[in-house]
Structure 1
Amino acid sequence: MEIIKASLTDYKTIYNIAIPVWDATYKTILTQEQMDYMLKLFYSEEAFTEQVSVKGHQFLLAVEGTEYLGFASYEVNYQSETTKLHKLYVLPQAHGKGVGKALVTVVENAARKNINDKLLLNVNRYNPAVHFYLKAGFENKGEDDVDIGNGYLMEDYLMVKQL
């Protein structure tokens, strides 16, 4: 498996990973209407372009041979000496292969290179991935409800990992 840096030209690949991951993860947590709203908000081509070109998010892809297994996005110096892990998605069929761990390791190394001393992320409180993050060394620092418009809230845990 290899972790590579993604670019704007990788939009379709990232989108094609996000859709099945969202379906598997959120179909029992969110309504279909909220999922559709959030996918458009965060995964439209326009939103992706803004994340990369304006907000400075870095995207990574995990690839094995010709098969893409997952992706991550992060932002160094998010809050002073903090790197924010914005997204980490691994296809269900690739769970247990070390994909998530490999992506987190690359983000940790980028954070250290930029003299950031911690990673920060939000994860839905009902997402089974909470256990992955705890095992990876993140600590639950409390709840964070984020109003994303249209009457929807992201009901998350705020998680931090000291580097």
Structure 2
Amino acid sequence: MLTITEATAQDFPTIQKIAYETWPITYGNILSKTQLDYMLEKFYSDETLLNNLTQKGHRFLLISDHNGVLGFASYEHHYQQNHMTRLHKLYVLSTAQGKGAGKLLLEEVERLAQENQANTVSLNVNKFNNAYTFYLKSGYEKLAEIDIPIGDGFLMEDYVMQKKL
């Protein structure tokens, strides 16, 4: 049975472990190793995660089974002062993919969004990430393409997606 719990700062090592395991698989054929390493450090340092949690209002969810944590999601209600919830991250270990963990995390974020009077969930996904198809199948539509400079000459080449609730 899969269980979803809210994560705290004490769970950052688990979140980091999952990110460092999933990113090379997810992005290894998309990004250079240099960019991959840069982004992991930029997005998953203790300082960044703590800032996201305490200053930016991000919430973190963990999904687990009897063997341990399988994945995580992070989201933010009232994104840009709108009736919108922003899904910032959703990653599931490769050994757990196809077992419904990602779908359950996404559904929980959508449920929490509705509970917080959001009428939309938005997200960005890398244009070449297989998760793009997952989001399409989950009812998300592509609104735009965007290139986001993240430093050191690197870009995030994303689709902006959203789902009306």
Range of TM-score over shorter length: over 0.9
Match of residue 25 from structure 1? 26
State the Cα deviation string for residues 9-35 of structure 1 (Å, max 9, x = none): 001000111111101011100000001
2: distance between equivalents of 1:84 and 1:37? 23
Letter in 1 for 2:79: Y
Among the aligned pairs, what percent are the same residue? 49
Residue deviations 1:57-98 (CA, integer Å, cap 9, x gap): 000000001411100000000031010000000101101110
User: Which amino acid is 1:146 matched to?
Assistant: I
Partners of 1:78 and 1:53 in 2: how far apart?
A: 15
Partner of 1:118: 120
TM-score (structure 1 length as normaliser): 0.98
Aligned-residue Cα RMSD (Å) equals: 0.7
Match of 1:37 in 2: 38
What count of residue pairs does the alignment treat as equivalent? Answer: 163
Aligned residue identity for 2:140: F
Structure 2: unaligned runs, 5 residues or longer: none
- Specify the alignment match of 1:108 in structure 2: 110
Corresponding position of 1:141: 143
Give the structure 2 partner of residue 156 of structure 1.
158
C-alpha distance in structure 1 between counterparts of 2:78 and 2:144, whole Å: 22
| 2:86 paired residue number | 84
Q: Which residue of 1 aligns with 2:72?
A: 71
Relative to the length of structure 2, the TM-score reads 0.97
Write out the 4+ residue segments of structure 1 that deviate beyond 2 Å after TM superposition. none
